[in-house]
Amino acid sequence: MTAAASVEAARRRTFAIISHPDAGKTTLTEKFLLYGGALTVGAGAVKARGGRRSATSDWMELEQQRGISITSTVLQFPYRGHVVNLLDTPGHRDFSEDTYRVLAAADAAVMVLDAAKGIEPQTLKLFEVCRARGLPLITFVNKWDRPGRDALELLDEITAQIGVEPAPVTWPVGRAGDFRGVVDRRGGRFVRFTRTARGATEAPEEIVDAERAASEEGEAWATASDELALLAEVGQSFDPELFRAGEASPTFFGSALTNFGVRLLLDAVVDLAPSPSPRLDEEGKPRPLDAAFSGFVFKVQANMDRAHRDRVAYLRVCSGRFHRGMVVTHAQTHRPFATKYATSVFGQERATVEEAYPGDVVGLVNAADVRVGDTLYLDEHVVYPGIPSFAPEHFAVARVRDSGRFKQFRTGIAQLDEEGVVQVLRHPDLGDQAPVLAAVGPMQFDVAVHRLTNEFGAPVELNPASWSVARRTDALSAAVLRPMRGVDVYARADGTLLALFESRYWLDRLAADQPDLTLEPLVAGTMAE
């Protein structure tokens, strides 16, 4: 007999690691795998760096050239009787829509900060998105083995910058650069760590009592004790309710490189992060975990494997049991969809997946008509809310360099639009001759140009456009807006009309002067545009 989906769901923890580039996301991912028994560090795992490790997560040439991970994959490993699903988010400097979509499939996130840098501005938006969505956030202050900032000061910065209250669960003994261990505030135990060669194996831990700690750690222990007394006084302690609401973030200190604090962090993911819960459908009705299979697509990726040109839709299971070969319904087209080619993706390696439960991610190969946000289900009809796209802030006009390649250009543009690599906007008069590519972060353009050139054989010219703000509008308002200066109206493939403004000031003035015009923000409440 197979277990009920709700029982399997209770064992699952599905989360993403988000960080600034270089804060240590890749290293931490590797160390999670090490502690999950899924990896021997150094054997070639998550990211190619300086040719030392082989690429698993990086599949595109562009990624390899830059040594960054642009696309995301899913890593699944067992840990303490649980099944951990780690969704990899793109590791580049820009905030991109891709990251946002991955977060839509996660039940929690681990935010990694570099102890010497704290919150860095480029990725602040990412953290704000988690905060705005109420996604439970666990904070890991990394690189404590290196000289860095003061722990209390870092906590203040988290509060001030993201508006989430950090609740230290562990507290470092020894200032940044002189890391001895952590006090686990849940029971007051001092956990002392020992380094291993190159951090290739788990860091041995020793529980040391206060008296011994005072005599052996001296000044470092005295400072930590004072700080702990201070924290107790201001009442900064972990509250599970506030964590689940995304308002307080249990905070851990450690060093991914030396494995200090990694086990405590992974334990926290299992012990504190929520397991998958019934997902709300479009009407706000929860679909019970034990209902028939259902899931939604949070990412579509084409041509991952040059050898077989294909298209993979990543689906997060929301209810029921998925088993390979089942024929499900694609809610948007009402068509049957055969799941014969279902895979799990571990880095670049694909393995056929036989079954999956709520919280798991399944890669559906050759999912031709399936788009980001779509729902698949068995038996009882369900449609999950789509994943809203972000208000683009960067715009560029695309033209094919060689008119003989126009067909390829058109195909490529449509494909990138469907995958959500960029948003494609068309002018009623120009259509596909000069579509506007719109993005949240400029890196999305690099990816689009690279793929159009290399994958579709359509080299393009991109000219930055002067618009900076987009608003959703309707046909009536569009007719009023079109003749005006400083604004133009373009359409998305789904027919949504977007008014593009050159300046925020002009938009505000127009909205004030003509309040009847339809000018709606694109993702209400999540982005400070």
Residues 197-256 interacting with ligand G4P (rule: CB under 6 A)? 255-256
Minimum CB separation of residue 19 from ligand G4P in Å reads 5
CA separation for the pair 395, 440 (Å, rounded):
9
Minimum CB separation of residue 175 from ligand G4P in Å reads 14
Q: Select the span of 127-135, 138-146, 267-275, 330-338 touching ligand G4P (CB under 6 A).
A: 138-146
Of residues 24 and 295, the one with the C-beta less far from ligand G4P: 24
Minimum CB separation of residue 401 from ligand G4P in Å reads 34
Of residues 88 and 97, the one with the C-beta less far from ligand G4P: 88
Single out the residue of 2, 49, 325, 340 in contact with ligand G4P (rule: CB under 6 A): 49
Minimum CB separation of residue 257 from ligand G4P in Å reads 3
CA separation for the pair 143, 24 (Å, rounded):
8
3-state DSSP call for residue 405?
A: helix
Minimum CB separation of residue 255 from ligand G4P in Å reads 4
CA separation for the pair 474, 506 (Å, rounded):
19
Longest dimension (CA), the chain: 79
Which two tokens mark 67?
A: 């040594």
Of residues 58 and 145, the one with the C-beta less far from ligand G4P: 145
Of residues 39 and 312, the one with the C-beta less far from ligand G4P: 39
Pairing verdict, β 82-87 and 12-19: parallel
Rule CB under 6 A: is residue 146 a binding residue for ligand G4P?
yes
Rule CB under 6 A: is residue 363 a binding residue for ligand G4P?
no
Of residues 180 and 371, the one with the C-beta less far from ligand G4P: 180
Single out the residue of 9, 11, 18, 27 in contact with ligand G4P (rule: CB under 6 A): 27
Q: Select the span of 19-27, 179-187, 200-208, 369-377 touching ligand G4P (CB under 6 A).
A: 19-27
Minimum CB separation of residue 221 from ligand G4P in Å reads 22
CA separation for the pair 95, 392 (Å, rounded):
11
Residues 442-501 interacting with ligand G4P (rule: CB under 6 A)? none
Of residues 250 and 261, the one with the C-beta less far from ligand G4P: 261
Residue entry with tokens 């000069």 = 434
- Whether 421 contacts 444, CB under 8 Å: yes
Single out the residue of 13, 24, 55, 374 in contact with ligand G4P (rule: CB under 6 A): 24
**Number of amino acids touching ligand G4P (CB under 6 A):** 18
Rule CB under 6 A: is residue 323 a binding residue for ligand G4P?
no
- Whether 165 contacts 242, CB under 8 Å: yes
Single out the residue of 11, 143, 299, 371 in contact with ligand G4P (rule: CB under 6 A): 143
CA separation for the pair 357, 360 (Å, rounded):
6
Which two tokens mark 126?
A: 């990412």
CA separation for the pair 427, 448 (Å, rounded):
19
Q: Select the span of 73-81, 142-150, 175-183, 188-196 touching ligand G4P (CB under 6 A).
A: 142-150
Single out the residue of 89, 142, 344, 389 in contact with ligand G4P (rule: CB under 6 A): 142
Rule CB under 6 A: is residue 57 a binding residue for ligand G4P?
no
Which two tokens mark 55?
A: 């690429």
Of residues 141 and 364, the one with the C-beta less far from ligand G4P: 141
Single out the residue of 19, 56, 139, 170 in contact with ligand G4P (rule: CB under 6 A): 19
Residue 356's φ and ψ, nearest 5 degrees, are -155, 155
86 to 292, 331, 423: CA distances (angstroms)? 24, 27, 27
Rule CB under 6 A: is residue 99 a binding residue for ligand G4P?
no
Rule CB under 6 A: is residue 139 a binding residue for ligand G4P?
no
Residue entry with tokens 């962090």 = 265
Residue entry with tokens 């690429």 = 55
- Whether 22 contacts 116, CB under 8 Å: no
Single out the residue of 34, 167, 191, 257 in contact with ligand G4P (rule: CB under 6 A): 257
The sign of the dihedral angle between the CA atoms of 10, 104, 525, 69 is positive
Pinpoint the alpha helices (H) of 343-425.
406-419
Single out the residue of 91, 172, 250, 320 in contact with ligand G4P (rule: CB under 6 A): 91
Residue type for position 453: T
444 to 98, 100, 467, 472: CA distances (angstroms)? 9, 13, 17, 21
Q: Select the span of 21-29, 285-293, 430-438, 480-488 touching ligand G4P (CB under 6 A).
A: 21-29
Rule CB under 6 A: is residue 120 a binding residue for ligand G4P?
no
Of residues 25 and 287, the one with the C-beta less far from ligand G4P: 25
Of residues 116 and 383, the one with the C-beta less far from ligand G4P: 116
Residue type for position 153: E
CA separation for the pair 11, 279 (Å, rounded):
17
Residues in the chain: 529
CA separation for the pair 140, 18 (Å, rounded):
10
Give the binding site for ligand G4P (CB under 6 A): 19, 21-27, 49-50, 91, 142-143, 145-146, 255-257
